[in-house]
Amino acid sequence: MTLKSLAFKNIRHHSSSYSAYFLSCIFAVLVFFLYASLLFHPILKNELFPDQFILFLYLVEAIVALFAFLFIGYSQSAFLRNRKQDIGLLQILGMPVRQVVRMIFWENILVGALAVLIGIFTGMIGSKFFFLAVSYVLRLPAPIPVNLSFGSIILTISFFFCLFLILSWISRFSLQKQSISQVLRERVQEKKKPKFSIWFVLLSLVSIAIAYWFSFTTSFAGITKNMIFILVFLFIGTYFGYTQLSIAVIALLEKLPKWFYRGTNLFLFSQLRFRLRDNARILFLVTIFTSIVLTAVGVCFTYYIESDTVGEEQAPYHISVVASPLNQAQMEKKIQSLGLKRTAHIQFQILQLKTTDRNKNMNNPVVYAISNTALNQLLQQEKRQKIMIHADEVIQIRNSGIWNKAQQKQEVQSFTVQQQQESFQWKWEKIMQGVLFNEHDQTRIMWAVSDATFAKLQKRGAGVIPVEGYRFSDPSKGKVLLEDMKKQFQSHNMNEKNSTGTILLQAFFRDLFSPLLFVSVFIGLLFFLAAGSILFFRLSIELPSERRQLELLNKLGLREEEANKILVRQIKLLFAIPFLVGSIHSFTGLTLFSFLLHRPVFASYLLVWFIYLVLGMLYYFWTKRSMLHAIGRFES
Amino acid sequence: MILEAKNLSKIYGGSSPGAFYKALDQFNLTINEGEFVGIMGPSGSGKSTLLQILGTIETPSSGELVMDGENVVAMKQTQLADFRREKLGFIFQDFQLLDSLSIKENMLVPLVLNKKSNQEMEERVKQVAAYLGIEAILSQRPYEVSGGQKQRAAAARALIHQPSLVLADEPTGNLDSKSAKALMELLVDLNHQEQTTILMVTHDPVTASYCDRILFIQDGRLLNEIYQGDRRADFYDQILLVQSSLGGELYDTKIPRF
């Protein structure tokens, strides 16, 4: 018998608690390998792949690597804590720390090598499907051929080898002398009953309330600003929710003796009181994982399937042209020749002016003004109420989906524009938000003035920009026209962005969210497995003390099935609580991110949620079975 | 002389004045080769601390400790591990066998750590197992055998590498009286035949009556010392006498185990 065989025997003995960890390890290796094999694929040198996508691949690989590091590191330290007794004993018998570290290294390498082997093997088989999926998501003309690159295998193996090497080395620091004397010393004193502070309970509730309130009211424009805010409050609220609120709730339950003393409730909740406190960090982690997975996959999936609608909403005109190089007759001819049928056509003029009130114009010195008639035309197309503008009045139009569709009033201010040497000052009170026309540089922020003012400005020689927009009965054919228009602009040395259309935005959303969805599903699965195996771990670590408790209850006359039921209910709660809290968190997260959809799209979210629920249930049943099996095995 | 301790003191929690606690106070102890020494004392008397210091698991706050000619106090952690591996054997109240290993493999652990050859391992296992009468259970797992068998396996592990000193912490604490008697007779036999030096902490007068010499400690100080005479029964009476003079109610009563 050698150190290596000792390590091997340890693994065999702890195989039941290693199994969840092993599964997650395999999956981490699999995902790492799949993305590595794409990174090493010769096809990547092809022009087909946008640079952002390749950058994205590197990012995903880095996330998976970081995740593997944290997850495997966490698992290892949990294992070491679990085996404190054994390792302490070996140290007493004279095993120096160096040798303990080497033993742990061998254990890691044995489990890791197997996981890497299986992960790479399944990765090789799975890469065909993976590449097919990538090709589909990126809408490549031909699927990416399977290519077994040496590089990706070497990268995966060496990364995980280094990982285990580093983690084993780190374990030296957690193997403190403390564990030695623990073997000899009498059992540690009783745990104190956890207490809660009403202030922390309030802090938790208030933080969550603030976070939710923000996520329900924040507009798209405010996301970046409020995101950190929301996250911090949500984290604080959730964390103290687990450490404080949970104990407060159990303390309240205690005040309902009828319920508290019924059946096995007493044992369950008195255990749970310690459980929730001790496991607060784990529950917190699992909750955050669940929230992230549900939100990310939910949002990406929703946007992916809604990309056509979102595109149509963000750019209501199938083609829009600013300062067209073609005249009306030429445009008409083109439409005719392509056989397009118009369902809507809009034409108006924008005046280009200057302002010294830059700060009121999104820091832009150039003002784009439209007439009241043009505004009403746009409003009518969007089926919104027409509006009447007075001669001395101006309305700011924020024409983009990043703002809520609304009409706002603010304190009356003045807004001044200059045309040549003349200055015009108007009363500015109203802001009109929401998409009215396709978003061009010239149409993003517009100022609507009365028709009379518009005519006066035009007379003073303000530059006129003609704008037109079309809707067709068959939008797909419009693509040809749009491409043609872009060519026209290029040939006239003009900005091709002056011509845009629904299709472009739809493509933009699809191109943005299909890879995001793809990645979020993979990372989501990884997180899901990690969350599950963290719970699995925790339970298997607590199994011995659980067993003592159940055996004692059994001897006091509680039947074995009933005693087991207590354990099962605990497992159930450990799985259900983070899932529920995470679901609620992600639900609010979805309302935050579904801004561009203007309406709750819960069908797709519910689908994602349901799939997660089913997977979670499967994991729960597996855990329950293993735990009951393990507890039965030691009962004698 | 296998062990010599001079003025050993151990103070816990000395960082804040008034809060510290003296577990051992200027303790002196000498053990000769081939002796079988017992240590008795009430709970909190310092006997566990003494055993941990002698086992080089705790370091004394002050004092000298020389074991087998080596100054243990000056050693570093790695040196201490080497020292324990080669020179010490441990027997615990709760056996401390590794569930992941069979009885035989558990016995082999000290030899594995000392990097002995396979041949030597086999020979030693055969020898020690025969001596302790556990040949039949060598391939079994610790959770498959009785408490008495477990403790004999643990004793086998403590002896297999022929240590200079065996430290036993309540070895009969988890055994029924029959198994306890069998184990103690084995230890005495071993002590006589192989000249193995044994230091045992116990609070059970019957177990203690197998020793050559018993030290009584209280509040970290040596109170009394008695020697084995011709008859074990007389020695037993003598132990009870000292115990009651020290205040019998202070002694641990065996906690019934479910």
ipTM for the predicted complex comes to 0.83
Find the residue in A nearest to B86 (Cα).
Answer: A94
Q: Are the beta carbons of A552 and B258 separated by less than 8 Å?
A: yes
Mean pLDDT for the stretch of residues A28-39: 89
Q: Which two tokens stand for residue A103?
A: 């033993």
Find, among A627, A38, A626, A620, the residue nearest to A286 by Cα.
A620
Tell whether the model's pLDDT for residue A231 goes beyond 90: no
Which pLDDT does position A182 carry in this prediction?
62
Angle between helical axes of B147-159 and B103-113 (0-180°, round to 10)? 20
Closest CB to A89 among B51, B96, B108: B96
Contact assignment for A181 to B58 by CB distance below 8 Å: yes
Task: Label residue A77 exposed, middle or buried (CB < 10 Å: 0-12, 13-18, 19+).
Answer: middle
* Angstrom distance (rounded) from CA A352 to CA A419: 9
Low-confidence ranges of chain B (pLDDT < 70): 14-19, 247-258
Collapsed DSSP state (helix, strand, coil) of residue A175:
coil
The mean of the pLDDT values for chain A is: 83
What average pLDDT score do residues A607-623 get? 92
Question: β-strands B197-201, B36-40: how paired?
Answer: parallel
CA distance A445 to A398: 5
Per-residue pLDDT at A189 exceeds 50: no
Q: Which residue has the tokens 């109610």?
A: B249
Residues of B in contact with A636 (CB under 8 A): 143
φ, ψ at A387 (rounded to 5°): -140, 150
Contacts of B43 in chain A (CB under 8 A): none
pLDDT for B123: 92
d(CA A15, CA A25) in angstroms, rounded, equals 14
**Nearest CA distance, A23 vs chain B (angstrom):** 22
Q: Note whether B112 contacts A3, CB cutoff 8 Å.
A: yes
Name the β-bridge partners of A237: none
Retrieve residue A334's tokens. 């083109």
**CA distance linking residue A443 with residue A282, whole number of Å:** 50
Q: Tell me the shortest Cα–Cα distance from A558 to chain B, in angstroms.
A: 15
Helix (H, G, I), strand (E, B) or coil at A494: coil
User: Are A95 and B51 an interchain contact pair (Cβ–Cβ within 8 Å)?
Assistant: no
Mean per-residue pLDDT for A421-440?
Answer: 88
DSSP H helices, A241-279, are 246-254, 257-260, 265-278
The reported pLDDT for the residue numbered A185 is 53
- Residue with token string 């804590």: A81
- In chain B, what residues touch A2 (CB-CB under 8 Å)? 112
Residues 6+ apart with CB under 8 A from A332: none
| Alpha carbon distance A418, A351 (integer Å) | 12
CB B79 within 8 A of CB B71: no
Amino acid at A461: G
* Cβ neighbours of A86 in B, within 8 Å: 98, 100
Asked whether residue A492 carries a pLDDT value surpassing 80, the answer given is yes
**Window B:95-134, CB contacts with A under 8 Å:** 96, 98-101, 105, 108-110, 112-114, 121
Q: Which of B83, B100, B108 sits opposite A13 (nearest CB)?
A: B100
DSSP string, A582-618: HHHHHHHHHHHHGGGGSS--HHHHHHHHHHHHHHHHH
Provide the pLDDT confidence category of residue A179 given band limits of 50, 70 and 90: low
DSSP character at residue A188: P
* CA–CA gap between residue A25 and residue A526 (Å, rounded): 9
Decide: A531 and A289 in contact? Cβ < 8 Å: yes
- Cβ contact B42:B218 at 8 Å: yes
d(CA A212, CA A584): 10
* Cβ neighbours of B90 in A, within 8 Å: 92-93
Provide the number of CB pairs (under 8 Å) joining chain A to chain B: 81
Q: Is A329 on the interface with B (CB under 8 A)?
A: no
Q: Supply the pLDDT for residue A324.
A: 84
From residue A529, alpha-carbon distances to A228, A534, A613, A618 in Å are 26, 8, 13, 11
In this complex, do A13 and B99 lie within 8 Å of one another by their Cβ atoms? yes
Q: Which of A184, A188, A552, A553 to mutate to test the interface with B (most CBs of B within 10 A)?
A: A184
A448 - beta bridge partners?
A: A370, A395
Task: Report the Cα–Cα distance between both ends of chain B, in Å, rounded.
Answer: 43
- C-alpha span between A387 and A389 (Å, rounded): 7
Nearest CA to A449 out of A521, A566, A371 is that of A371
User: Scanning the structure block, which residue is given the tokens 């693509």?
Assistant: A479
Distance CA A537, CA A16 (A): 10
Cα separation of B122 and B130, whole Å?
12
Probe site for chain B from A1, A185, A636 (most B CB atoms < 10 A) = A1
Q: Residue A46: pLDDT above 60?
A: yes
* Inter-chain CB proximity A96 and B258 less than 8 Å: no
Query: Is the backbone of residue B91 left (phi > 0), alpha (psi -120 to 50) or beta?
Result: beta
Q: What chain A residue is nearest to B78 in terms of C-alpha separation?
A: A96
Chain B nearest C-alpha distance from A178 (Å)? 9
Strand ordering across the sheet containing B70-71: B21-31, B3-12, B62-67, B70-71
pLDDT of residue A516: 83
Listed by start position, the domains of chain B span 3-97+146-250
Alpha-carbon distance of A229 to A211, in angstroms, equals: 8
By the CB < 8 Å criterion, does B75 face chain A? no
The end-to-end CA distance of chain A, in Å, is: 29
Tell me if chain A has a CB within 8 Å of the CB of B15: no
DSSP labels, chain B? --EEEEEEEEEESTTSTT--EEEEEEEEEEE-TT-EEEEE--TTSSHHHHHHHHTTSS--SEEEEEETTEESTT--HHHHHHHHHHHEEEE-TT----TTS-HHHHHHHHHHHTT--HHHHHHHHHHHHHHHT-GGGTTS-GGGS-HHHHHHHHHHHHHTT--SEEEEESTTTTS-HHHHHHHHHHHHHHHHHH--EEEEE---HHHHTTSSEEEEEETTEEEEEEE--S-HHHHHHHHHHHHHHTTGGGSPPPPP--
State the fold for domain B3-97+146-250.
Answer: Rossmann fold (3.40.50)
CB contact under 8 Å between A93 and B90, yes or no, is yes
CA distances from A65 to A37, A71, A165 (A): 14, 10, 15
User: Quick one: which H or E segment has residue A371?
Assistant: strand A366-371
The structure tokens 């067709």 sit at A472
Write out pLDDT tens, residues A52-65. 778 888 888 898 89
B258 and A184 in contact by Cβ < 8 A? Answer: no
Cβ atoms of A429 and A442 closer than 8 Å: no
What confidence tier does A187 reach under pLDDT thresholds 50, 70, 90? very low
- Contact assignment for B90 to A13 by CB distance below 8 Å: no
B105, B97 contact by CB (below 8 A)? no
pTM for the complete prediction? 0.72
**Total residue count of chain A as it appears in this document:** 636
Residue A39 has pLDDT above 80, yes or no: yes
Chain B nearest-CA distance from A563, in A, is 17
For residue A593, pLDDT beyond 60: yes
pLDDT tens-place string over residues A324-377: 888 888 888 888 888 888 888 899 999 999 888 888 888 888 999 999 999 999
Q: Of A58, A38, A30, A61, nearest to A126 (Cα)?
A: A30
Q: Minimal CA–CA distance to A70: which of A527, A519, A468? A: A527
**Is A311 a residue whose pLDDT tops 60?**
yes
How far, in Å, CA of A468 to CA of A327, rounded? 11
Q: Pull the structure tokens for residue A212.
A: 């939710």
With contact defined as beta carbons under 8 Å apart, do A89 and B57 qualify? no
Task: Indicate which of B67, B111, B112 best probes the interface with A, i.e. most A CBs within 10 Å of its own CB.
Answer: B112
Residue B143 to residue A99, Cβ atoms within 8 A: no
> From A93, which residue of chain B is nearest by alpha-carbon distance?
B85
Are the beta carbons of A184 and B82 separated by less than 8 Å? no
Closest CA in chain B for residue A555: B258
Instruction: Check: CB of residue A498 under 8 Å from CB of residue A321.
Output: yes
Q: For A563-594, give one letter per residue: b (16+ CB within 10 A) or e.
A: bbbbbebbbebbbebbbebbbebbbbbbbbbb
Top-confidence residue, A192 or B80: B80
Give the list of residues 6+ apart from residue A467 with CB closer than 8 angstroms, or none. Answer: A320, A321, A322, A323, A347, A348, A349, A350, A437, A440, A442, A443
Indicate the helix (H) or strand (E) that contains A280: helix A280-314
Residue type, A250: I
Per this entry, what is the length of chain B? 258
Lowest-confidence region among A32-41, A228-237, A555-564, B62-71: A555-564
Which tens digit of pLDDT belongs to each residue from A145-171? 888 888 999 999 999 999 988 988 888
* The pair of three-digit structure tokens given for residue A380, joined into one six-digit string: 């009518």
